[in-house]
Structure 1
Amino acid sequence: MAQNNKFFEKHIKQWLKQFRVTGNTVSLVDEGVISLTTLAVALKAERPVLIELPGYAMGEKVKAEMELWAKTLGIGKRIEILPDGTSCGKKLAEAEIPRATLLNTVLHAPPDILLASSAAVMSPAPPPEKMRSSELTLKKGMELPLGRLAEMLVEMDYDDEPEVTQPGEFSRRGGLIDIFSPAQNYPARIEYWGDTIDSIRKFTPETQSSVREISEYKLIMRSGSEEEGESDGKSDFTDYVRLFQPMILRVFPEESRKSLERFFDPPVLDKWEKLKRDPLWSNAVQLLDVAESAKLPPDSAMQCPVFPSSRHILHMVPQGAEENLSELVRQISSNLIRQLADESYKISIAGRTEGDLLSLRDWLRNEGLDSLESIECIQAEVPCGIFLPDENFALFSEYELFSSPRRLLSHKTIVPEIEDDTGEQVHDTIEEAVSADMEEGDYAVHINYGICIYHGLKTIHEKDRSYEALDLEFDNDSRVYVPIWQAHCVSRYIGSQKGTVRLSRIGSSKWNKIKSEAAGSVRSLALDMLRIHAMRCQAKGCSFPQDDLQQRLFEKSFPFTETRDQLRAAEEIKRDMESPRPMDRLLCGDVGYGKTEVAMRAIFKCVMSGKQAAILVPTTVLAQQHYYNFLERFAEYPFIIETLSRFKTKGEQAMIVERMNEGKVDIVIGTHRLLQSDVKFKNLGLVVVDEEQRFGVVHKEKLKNLRTTVDVLTMTATPIPRTLYFSMSGMRDLSTIMSAPVQRLPVHTVVSQYDDSIVAAAITRELQRGGQVYYLHNRVGSIDETAERLKALVPQAKFGIGHGQMNETELEDVMSSFIEGRTDVLVCTTIIESGLDIPNANTIIIERADRFGLAELYQLRGRVGRWSRQAYAYLLLPRNSILTGNVRKRIAAMRKYTHLGSGFKLALRDLEIRGAGNILGAEQSGHINAIGFNLYCQLLRTVTSRLKGVEVSLKKECNVFIDFVDYSLTTVEGKIPAAFPEEYINSPRLRLDAYRRVAMINDLTVLESYRQELQDRFGRLPRAAENLFVCAGIRIIGILANLDSISCADDKIILERAHEILKPDGKIPRLPSGTNPDSKLRFMKMLLEKIFLKK
């Protein structure tokens, strides 16, 4: 075998160097070679190149392939793609900002290669002079009144938000303004001194914390799109093209014409046709397919010598032989390589990873090709294989050899090593979700007074002082105004349905009695849970070995970039597997966040240790898709993978069960069929349960028994409250994947009454950008009629129908057709609910959304948005319908929780809507309803910790009273204020959150970190806010010293612990008299630090 890269580098680069375009037409065999051909043209051009294609989807594919070729061949070209601007005459919301960014780039520094669909070229755009005049670069020391800057941002179409998290937003707070310009990939915090910009800092949207100071920040218009009504009708992207005068390549212009004719009004098509008379476009090079080339006079088109070998190989596969496609492709590839070698071709075979190269060399050895000097194996990432007859050279990729195409979605990058974590952060995150989002009118729980209704913040005036308070309504219309600095005592009530909630009565002992009864019941439940937990701890499970080289190579071969959370979750699961006790871990992550890859790493560890693994899924369709995904992911390894579901005949099922019992199946993926009594394993090591909430009570009992003998990993996106409950109580190990994959966007959710025009526009828009649509109609009896109605609305679309009552072969054909892109719209029932992963399907339309539960709606919405493209979910309701309270809440929750990673909050909302119900049985649900889910979980965690020998209580507190400090908004004579003024944090929600955070922090280092965070976000802390932090520091010192209270009156500091007054050094500490209150407060903190912290 030849030395690596000996042929590849020489022949590919030689061909690129010699490639010349003669005339204005190039004939292509297939679109698979557009990327390399256009790259060859661009290398010869002495100016930028504009590639116009029929659709955005083709543009994304070509761009990804061009970037791969450029990276592999070491070609430094900047490649960009222009998003489409409009659809059906309306702006595409997701395209406004990226279009603005690219239009601005084109004005100043056009990319070397710019791809754009014909729709993107013809979509209305702001005139170039308008884009230029709207630019503004902010610089340190620049004089520009803050009010005028805010006005300018509004004129540039920026959104005024409480917090800046997305491009095109700004937020003004006192002398600060946060801005996220589309021209930048990060937001900036601008701090003023008078009318002068004093500093500009880059900050992180997730934490709202500054990263570093920068010298300037460029602002541009927010939107690069205009609707037909907004536009002057004359300006579009062609005006920008004339400015930078690129060389133009038009790929498949006839397809572009058909696309414009299909999706745009006739005037747009006429304007596009007239471009042929424009000097710039009349000299465009046209890339034609075989059909278009055949219409031209002989020899008028240059024949491109590049064509993908995969097409030739696959064309050799006999009809009807698809069942053994993979083996046939390998055999044909082997014969073809041998034939080419005989014809003196030099042959390169590319693999992405070291593991791929090992597999390729093994395959060549098995085929008897490894001794040929004309063959080399190279580690390179290429989109497809090619033939270069003039060079006597052929390149094969993995697709040609193994029939396993890869998605060109993202590429591997280096991720920092993960740090060890205790898991406490997970509990804090969940409890934060429980307490957050309290809005006016919500039921709430005060830990000391009971259940109430929260009526927002109110300013209380008392004599010569005023302060903000939470307005709480209790029984008999009694009101309690809880000072805002005690906000941590109040949380949102989650329990039974609102109509049955009973408010607590102030002054009654009933609330304490209810809490006591709940604590007793919790103890009983905890003992039962601990019994199961103890059985697991005592059981001898399999202790898997630590990671070896094969495990590391397998993980390294993952073609996408893992998120930090994915890496952490995988490490936590593998650590559990290495422990001798059986694993019982819940892996919770939003839909499409990469849970399956994490599970695959655990399964690999299991099987490589000689054990069997089972994957239990709720639906046959999901079992089949997992099967295909597992075959692809484990293609390099000799694992025997089978499915057990109704897609198999009874005879096939019996054979698989027998082989499982004999240990001849390594991995089996199945539905509840796996839990039937005839299924036995020879050496089962790991069970992965996907979406446990979809299984019935009987199946769950069988799973509970499994948990005491083998490792069990449960995966879920929206945990049912029971599952979430056990996780929060600490009786079940929990891993979370909270961070979204790179470039993932939240699904845009539209709630509307059914209307034909909305449905037609939604489908048409998705088809225009080359995507696919799910249309969910959950009635088998009328699904055919619905499909016919949709065909009449969108006649240009290709429709398929799928539901659970179809026979196995028919359903499999329908799903395969949709997965492979032969069908545009899949009219289906909820068979698509779990786990389907089709990146090109990015619109889902759900009929009668009012008939679905919250978890179902969440799962259905999760079928789209699994790529970097903006996805849409339409929740359609009956016309003129009046929704019941629970239905209205479910729909409102779906509309509200659209951000990435919202599964936890939706699970909590689902608990609130449904009530505790049968979650934990009647008795426990009664206690949850009585005291609220948050307090119940705190009690349960405390009891279980104590039963396990860990002494824990509800959050330890130390009461602080200082006679010269007033937690108010006004200055009282002789006292100093300790508060967050409204003019400092003007958003009530953020102000309430700030008080809650300060009150809940029990660590001095964390407190100082939060003080710096507020100073960064809102500017220099006013004296009142600084005083509040000093008081919080005194409280924390008291907690660390295990004090019950600290009080200061007449300069005496009284320290109480267990009903005793402490006297350090035999006397009561005192403050120096005659000093001002500010100095006294800071001296008091220093004195307490010296006494208890020895500082």
Structure 2
Amino acid sequence: PASPADKEDPRAQERQAARMAVQAALLERSPDGPLLIATTLEALFEACEEADVLRNASVALHAAQNYSMRSLAERLGSELGYDSESICEQPGQYAVRGSLIDVYPVQENQPYRLDFFGDTLESIRPFDPTSQRSEGRVDKLLIAPAQAVELTRSRSFLDTYLSDIITQRALPKKSSPGTEKLLGSGLIHWIFVEPSFQGPQTPWKQLVKAWKTAPTQSRVLGLVSADLLESPLGSTSTAPFKVEALEAYRPWPLDMGVGHERNESELEARRNFLQTLAQWANEGQPVECLARHSGELVRMEEWLQATAPKGFRPKVGVGPLLKGIKISWITKNATSSQPDRQPWVLATEYELFGRKPQRLMSLTQRKRLPVRSRLEPIIDFEDLVEGDLLVHAAHGVCRFLGLQTLESQAGAQLVITLEFANAMRLHLPARDAHWLSRYVGLAKASPKLASLKSASWQKTLAAAERSTLDFAAQLVHIQAERDAAPGHAFAEDTPWQKEFEASFPYPLTPDQNREWLAIKADMESSRPMERLLCGDVGFGKTELAMRAAFKAAIGGKQVAMLVPTTVLCEQHFETFRERMCDFPIVVEMLSRFRSPKEQATIRKEMHSGLIDIVIGTHSLLGSQVRFKDLGLIIIDEEHRFGVKDKEALKAHWPHVDILSMSATPIPRTLYMALMGARDLGTLETPPRNRLPIETHIAHYNPKLVERAIRAEIDRGGQVFYLHNRVATIHSVARKLQERIPELKIAVAHGKMGAEELEEQMHAFVAGQYHMLV
């Protein structure tokens, strides 16, 4: 990343640490080793420390050597810019505990524990920042500065770290004999992916012009000897190369659209892609296929064996491209002044199966602990405004008229003024505020205020109590029927089930693994499953739901997944369809995003058994919905559905397994789980490297807002802009549009019609807008 130019940037320290980590890694690399740097134009020409300055500012430690522990701790804080903490958990931190110094170097992906005996460094041990347990030993450690050192001598990042490589290995030297044997301009390429917005203007006008005119999505600039570029820093030093021409090529589209629809065109596209790979292999180009893990490797080998052209057997390997790859240009004629380079073709499961690549985390975000949110009070009477409806436990529905101080024989007293029927008022002492609660009603019409002169409130309470007891008896009857009814016992895992589970690109957390084994045991038993799965957002509930749905569908049963909103319905539909695209499972969606004709067709196919998994909103609760052989019901965000809706599902399908999921289950559901009426599973461990939600508070600054928006859009993301007044929300959107003309903005608020609001949300989720105000 580029260095933050503004001190108001809330992530300035993190971005600076990331730059220092890259510079430190370049200091440790072998001079002749392969090098691949992903960067931006701004960061490439950003002023930075010269290599020898940074090397002298870093601390190199070796085990069994003598160092002053006190001096080292002082240097970490005063010179290297590390933060002193009681526990070392994140990059750029250190902690001194007795004879130990825990330090998290910014260029490393784990912290290290320095164990001293006097002034002798006895051992250097990496440790887990979560458990704080040591894991093995290392002989040496380099601690790079966490913040920029004094720029007594500075040049651009390009001049400092890359100019020697380009000069020595990419540019022909006419005065040196045998230069024709040197690798030409193809050794080093700059690859530019066009951002959503063009960044600041650069001195290299020709480069920008060539960049704009090249085809979108893939640009490769070949560096050859020509006129020198003007130095962006305005110093006497210039980059020893010049852009002569721009090559834009792309052997195969990155997004083939495969793996999303089961039709002939998709299969034909895959076969055509294999024909292209086979043609390249016949031309002598090495072709390799790479899988992320062993599960994908097995499927890739089986698929290639069944569909690859005769005689084409590419090399297949496992391993994500996280530690770097070495690409060698093979010279066919060593005496030629322009050696022929033999390209190396690498095909991943993304090209073969249409799997989307996972976004990698930055170095400073690894192993970061989750941010815990503080619990907020359920009711705060300071938030009440005059006219709000309340319920007095003894007298009934009333209207809040405010707080005031009244004089009495006991002195001044703070009271809550309440209005009842016939304009009668009751002054309730503030100490008795526990008698009050907010009014929550299902009907849209406002309720009648209770009367202080009649017993109508007591009659209402008695009727509600009888109705509650009747409904409770009905619930007990439904639950008793489910307990007595025999359920379907699914078979043990099939090879396809194991293959599907192996296709998940991340390791399960211990909690996920435990709960998945429990869910499988429930499904394989003859008792209908009744399980509640609790876990925070992003803790992996959906993955377990997909595995359960896959197990049911492969076992010959149908699956219904109930979600509260149409937007969430479509998101789950895309996720399920993508994960199961390589298996004979039909996934469909039933919501308002389908036309009436499409909904009728889907219901018909559900009844005939052509659809294996259907994901829908409340439309799944309709009387017209029928299944041929339903085996599993999944309720996502079960707290968003009413008790009657959920119990109606149980009454209609008493033999079916039910898996409910929620981050915040309603008290009744949680109570049933705690008393044993249903099984309870919890996901308390966040997935490794889960990104925390970061909140920064600052005074409103239009420039800061603009920078934040541009940074997110350039990253390929989207922005929510929250405004607190419907009356001025459109003017806010207009001002943002004037400040950033390229921005595509949608506006949504609570006074819109339900369908219009849903359309705006759907368009935003589909990526048609950059920002939703």
TM (norm. structure 2) is 0.65
Distance 1:350 1:202, change over 3 A: closer
Give the alignment of 1:339-488 within 5 angstroms.
Answer: 352=291, 353=296, 354-358=298-302, 364=307, 373=310, 379=316, 404-409=354-359
Moved more, 236-245 or 587-596: 236-245
Amino acid at match of 1:114: L
Moved more, 665-674 or 351-360: 351-360
Name the CA distance, whole Å, in 1 between partners of 2:703 and 2:625. 51
Q: Secondary structure at the match of 1:636?
A: coil
1:709: Cα distance to partner? 3.3
Amino acid at match of 1:281: A
Which of 552, 556, 568 is 2:498 aligned to? 552
Match of 2:406 in 1: none
Name the CA distance, whole Å, in 2 between partners of 1:376 and 1:143. 56
1:153 equivalent in alignment to 2:76: yes
Amino acid at match of 1:355: R
1:220: Cα distance to partner? 2.5
CA offsets 1:721-773 (integer angstroms, 9 cap, x no match): 55555555555433333444443332221235655344223212323445432
Name the CA distance, whole Å, in 2 between partners of 1:141 and 1:349. 45
Give the alignment of 1:457-856 within 5 angstroms.
Answer: 536-702=482-648, 705=651, 709-720=655-666, 723-724=669-670, 727=673, 731-752=677-698, 754-777=700-723, 784-801=730-747, 815=762, 819=766, 823=769, 825-827=770-772
Which of 298, 303, 307 is 2:251 aligned to? 307
Name the CA distance, whole Å, in 1 between partners of 2:571 and 2:100. 51
CA offsets 1:339-375 (integer angstroms, 9 cap, x no match): 999999789896853334545666x5xxxxx7x6365
Q: Which has the higher contact order (CA 8 A, sep 6+)?
A: 1
1:659: Cα distance to partner? 2.4
1:689: Cα distance to partner? 1.4
CA contact (8 A) 2:481 2:654 kept: yes
1:251 equivalent in alignment to 2:190: yes
- What is the number of equivalent residue pairs in this alignment? 604
Q: Secondary structure at the match of 1:787?
A: helix
Write 1 or 2 for the structure with the bigger share of helix. 1
1:645: Cα distance to partner? 0.6
Which of 62, 85, 91 is 2:3 aligned to? 85
Amino acid at match of 1:160: S
Give the alignment of 1:253-272 within 5 angstroms.
Answer: 259-261=198-200
1:124: Cα distance to partner? 4.2
Distance 1:755 1:724, change over 3 A: farther
Q: Secondary structure at the match of 1:177?
A: strand
Which of 281, 289, 292 is 2:239 aligned to? 281
Name the CA distance, whole Å, in 1 between partners of 2:88 and 2:762. 41
Match of 1:125 in 2: 48
Distance 1:377 1:633, change over 3 A: farther
Distance 1:801 1:562, change over 3 A: farther
Distance 1:341 1:161, change over 3 A: closer
Distance 1:814 1:257, change over 3 A: closer
Q: Secondary structure at the match of 1:751?
A: coil
CA offsets 1:65-104 (integer angstroms, 9 cap, x no match): xxxxxxxxxxxxxxxxxx4332657463433333222211
Distance 1:742 1:630, change over 3 A: same
Name the CA distance, whole Å, in 1 between partners of 2:564 and 2:548. 20
Name the CA distance, whole Å, in 2 between partners of 1:636 and 1:355. 9
Name the CA distance, whole Å, in 2 between partners of 1:243 and 1:343. 34
Q: Secondary structure at the match of 1:712?
A: strand
Q: Secondary structure at the match of 1:172?
A: strand
Distance 1:94 1:686, change over 3 A: farther
Match of 2:416 in 1: none
Name the CA distance, whole Å, in 2 between partners of 1:166 and 1:187. 8
CA-based RMSD of the aligned residues comes to 5.1
Distance 1:559 1:284, change over 3 A: farther
Match of 1:112 in 2: 34
1:552: Cα distance to partner? 1.1
Distance 1:151 1:535, change over 3 A: farther
Give the alignment of 1:978-1017 within 5 angstroms.
Answer: none
CA contact (8 A) 2:288 2:317 kept: no
CA offsets 1:1034-1068 (integer angstroms, 9 cap, x no match): xxxxxxxxxxxxxxxxxxxxxxxxxxxxxxxxxxx
CA offsets 1:497-517 (integer angstroms, 9 cap, x no match): 999689xxxxxxxxxxxxxxx
CA contact (8 A) 1:662 1:681 kept: yes
Q: Secondary structure at the match of 1:788?
A: helix
Amino acid at match of 2:46: S
Identity of aligned residues (%): 34
Give the alignment of 1:940-979 within 5 angstroms.
Answer: none
Moved more, 200-209 or 705-714: 705-714
Which of 172, 176, 194 is 2:96 aligned to? 172
CA offsets 1:563-591 (integer angstroms, 9 cap, x no match): 44433332221111111112222333333
Distance 1:783 1:700, change over 3 A: farther
CA contact (8 A) 2:229 2:239 kept: no
Distance 1:324 1:409, change over 3 A: closer
Distance 1:351 1:794, change over 3 A: same
Name the CA distance, whole Å, in 2 between partners of 1:180 and 1:336. 45
Name the CA distance, whole Å, in 1 between partners of 2:161 and 2:649. 63
Match of 1:187 in 2: 111
Distance 1:715 1:97, change over 3 A: farther
Q: Secondary structure at the match of 1:660?
A: helix
1:159: Cα distance to partner? 1.3
CA contact (8 A) 1:350 1:382 kept: no
Match of 1:102 in 2: 22
Which of 57, 61, 64 is 1:134 aligned to? 57
CA contact (8 A) 1:351 1:377 kept: no
Name the CA distance, whole Å, in 2 between partners of 1:773 and 1:379. 40
Name the CA distance, whole Å, in 1 between partners of 2:347 and 2:475. 57
Distance 1:381 1:277, change over 3 A: farther
Moved more, 151-160 or 706-715: 706-715
Distance 1:193 1:766, change over 3 A: same
Give the alignment of 1:311-330 within 5 angstroms.
Answer: 327-330=264-267
1:611: Cα distance to partner? 0.5
1:628: Cα distance to partner? 1.7
Distance 1:325 1:733, change over 3 A: closer
1:692: Cα distance to partner? 1.4
1:273: Cα distance to partner? 4.8
Name the CA distance, whole Å, in 2 between partners of 1:816 and 1:350. 36
Amino acid at match of 1:288: L
1:801: Cα distance to partner? 4.8
1:217: Cα distance to partner? 4.1
Which of 152, 157, 160 is 1:240 aligned to? 160
Name the CA distance, whole Å, in 2 between partners of 1:600 and 1:768. 32
Which of 130, 145, 152 is 1:221 aligned to? 145
1:644: Cα distance to partner? 0.9
Match of 2:441 in 1: none
Amino acid at match of 1:406: K
CA offsets 1:501-535 (integer angstroms, 9 cap, x no match): 89xxxxxxxxxxxxxxxxxxxxxxx9999988765
Give the alignment of 1:889-908 within 5 angstroms.
Answer: none
Distance 1:232 1:616, change over 3 A: farther
CA contact (8 A) 2:195 2:715 kept: no
Name the CA distance, whole Å, in 2 between partners of 1:533 and 1:582. 11
CA contact (8 A) 2:561 2:636 kept: yes
Distance 1:383 1:328, change over 3 A: farther
Distance 1:166 1:400, change over 3 A: closer
1:199: Cα distance to partner? 5.1
CA offsets 1:237-292 (integer angstroms, 9 cap, x no match): 2453267534674536796998441699x9xx9997547998873325677355xx
